[in-house]
């Protein structure tokens, strides 16, 4: 399949950014794409590719020079996530959650915490994860129950459970949010800890079986009187948890938007290639107006999503408040990512619903002729995820409307109703 739908030379990007995109795209084509089938079919966690990302210096992009990074910024994270998720969404998940497990340590950690945990994350040796969600605390993250109690030495004993934790069973370190004070409002009584799987009382209950992104590991974990040294409280100060969480959300949402752009781009390429090759009524599908105009609509949405995402990345890199634009970019890009996959599947017709051709010798479904149509069901399943993570698109719409009313000096709906 032609892999050049989106031109490398983006007018908004700097020469350096375009050069970086070219390099990443070549690496993805040569080393990630050939592995993507195996990762999906064998449900293989792509640690080997994550390690290569580290060796190539890609993980450094989001870290400041003071901790060994290259400080290139979120714009480079945008490029990485879009290019990689085009081929392999599970690898982006391994990357994202390591970055988001590291940012709290980088921004709020002590020099000792930074020295102990970040070098491994930057060079690709260590996988990170973030633990917020619990069975009874999803969108309402502040209703979490996991509790860290100080013992007589000043260390902590943590009890509780977390679910849906990406990289959870593979992680070498995990940034975990829990309550340290239940006598105050949760956003004041929440703290963040660095957890290692070797800590006594840390239990992996198991990984969930997922609809898509099969190389992604998503874990249910329990803490049974888990002993955590006081040195592992991020920033060595209780009550910083909400601040630490809010600090990284804009970056998390912008990278979720970037991954969705990669999925949308793949969907458009599949649709265009199939519409070019497949003939019905003695004509290529692309000659029917619904097909070609649908491809146009997908391209319009992708360009809009990409520009919104780039804007969010620029605002973050400029150190300005990106909460509204990052939420807008995330909602729009992840909505259209799935829409594009859905439309591309329709253009592929029945083949789009198939995983491949059954091969008796291999005992599995294969794509011997490299038909683009057999790839779309995987893209469809993968792109469905992104409107749920990093803040559901419903919760983000709630945040966006609140900003709109505030900017216009009007009461927000909840203020009007005395919520
Ligand atoms: C594959 C995967 C990976 C994940 N990775 C991580 C991770 O690494 N770390 C982590 O901590 N969590 C992770 N999560 C959890 C994710 O952040 C939550 O699933 C998400 O926050 C939603 O919570 P929930 O699933 O409990 O849904 P619920 O909160 O139960 O919501 C269900 C539905 O109701 C809607 N809803 C809820 N409240 C409102 C409201 N006030 N107004 C309107 N609609 C509302 C939601 O939008 C959603 O559509 C992951 C989830 C998945 C599926």
Nearest CA to ligand 1 atom 6: 165
DSSP 238-305: TT-HHHHHHHHHHHHHHHHHHHHHHHHHHHHHHHHHHHHH-EETTEEGGGSHHHHHHHHHHHHHHHHH
What's the pLDDT score for residue 418? Answer: 63
Q: What is the mean pLDDT of the chain?
A: 95
For the record, the structure tokens of 306 come out as: 């990409």
| Residue bearing tokens 């979490």 | 144
Ligand 1 pocket test, candidate residues 43, 132, 389, 398, most atoms within 8 A of CB: 389
pLDDT in tens, 152-199: 999 999 999 999 999 999 999 999 999 999 999 999 999 999 999 999
Work out the average pLDDT over 206-235: 97
Q: Rounded CA gap, 246 and 124, in Å? A: 26
**Digit-coded pLDDT (tens) for 402-414:** 999 999 999 999 8
Mean pLDDT is lowest, of 86-100, 272-286, 351-365, 375-389, for 351-365
Residue with CA at minimum distance from ligand 1 atom 16: 389
Give me the residue label for tokens 């097909």. 291
CA-based angle 130:254:15, to the nearest 5?
125
**Domains, the chain, ordered by start:** 15-126 (1.10.540.10), 129-242 (2.40.110.10), 246-416 (1.20.140.10)
List ligand 1's pocket residues with C-beta within 6 A: 97, 129-133, 138-139, 164-166, 218, 385, 388-389, 392, 394-395, 398
Cα(356)–Cα(337) distance, integer angstroms: 23
Report pLDDT digits (tens) over 296-346.
Answer: 999 999 999 999 999 999 999 999 999 999 999 999 999 999 999 999 999
Q: Please determine, for residue 4, whether its predicted confidence score (pLDDT) is greater than 90.
A: no
pLDDT at 1: 46
247 C-alpha to ligand 1 centroid (Å): 19
Report whether pLDDT(15) > 70: yes
DSSP conformation class of 134: B
Pairing of strands 128-131, 173-179: parallel
pLDDT at 141 over 90: yes
- pTM of the entire predicted model: 0.96
Predicted confidence at residue 419, as pLDDT, reads 56
Q: Report the share of the chain in percent with pLDDT over 70.
A: 98
Distance 384 CA to ligand 1 centre (A): 13
pLDDT at 201 over 60: yes
């Amino acid at each position: 399949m032609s892999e050049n739908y989106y031109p490398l030379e983006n007018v908004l990007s700097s020469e350096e950014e375009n050069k970086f995109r070219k390099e990443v795209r070549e690496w993805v084509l040569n080393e990630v794409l050939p592995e993507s089938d195996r990762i999906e079919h064998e449900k293989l966690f792509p640690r080997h590719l994550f390690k290569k990302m580290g060796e190539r210096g890609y993980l450094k992009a989001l870290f400041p020079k003071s901790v060994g990074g290259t400080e290139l910024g979120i714009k480079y994270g945008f490029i990485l996530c879009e290019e990689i998720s085009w081929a392999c969404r599970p690898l982006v998940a391994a990357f994202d959650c390591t970055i988001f497990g590291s940012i709290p340590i980088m921004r709020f950690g002590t020099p000792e915490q930074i020295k102990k945990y970040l070098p491994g994350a930057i060079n690709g040796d260590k996988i990170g994860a973030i633990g917020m969600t619990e069975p009874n605390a999803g969108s309402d993250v502040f209703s979490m129950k996991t509790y860290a109690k100080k013992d007589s030495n000043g260390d902590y004993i943590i009890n509780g459970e977390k679910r849906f934790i990406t990289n959870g069973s593979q992680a070498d370190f995990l940034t975990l949010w829990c309550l340290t004070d239940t006598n105050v409002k949760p956003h004041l009584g929440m703290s963040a800890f660095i957890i290692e799987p070797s800590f006594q009382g840390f239990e992996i209950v198991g990984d969930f079986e997922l609809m898509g992104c099969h190389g992604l590991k998503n874990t249910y974990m329990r803490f049974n009187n888990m002993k955590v040294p006081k040195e592992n409280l991020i920033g060595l100060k209780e009550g910083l948890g909400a601040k630490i969480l809010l600090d990284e959300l804009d970056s998390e949402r912008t990278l979720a938007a970037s991954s969705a752009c990669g999925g949308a781009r793949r969907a458009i390429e599949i649709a265009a290639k199939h519409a070019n090759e497949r003939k019905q009524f003695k004509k290529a599908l692309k000659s029917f107006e619904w097909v070609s105009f649908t491809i146009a609509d997908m391209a319009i949405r992708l360009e809009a999503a990409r520009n919104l995402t780039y804007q969010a990345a620029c605002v973050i890199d400029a150190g300005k408040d990106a909460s509204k634009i990052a939420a807008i970019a995330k909602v729009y890009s992840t909505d259209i990512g799935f829409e594009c996959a859905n439309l591309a599947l329709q253009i592929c017709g029945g083949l789009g619903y198939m995983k491949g051709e059954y091969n008796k010798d291999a005992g599995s479904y294969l794509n011997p002729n490299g038909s683009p149509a057999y790839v779309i069901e995987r893209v469809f399943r993968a792109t469905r995820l992104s409107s749920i993570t990093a803040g559901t698109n419903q919760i983000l719409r709630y945040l966006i409307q609140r900003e709109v009313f505030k900017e216009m000096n009007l009461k927000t709906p909840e203020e009007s109703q005395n919520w």
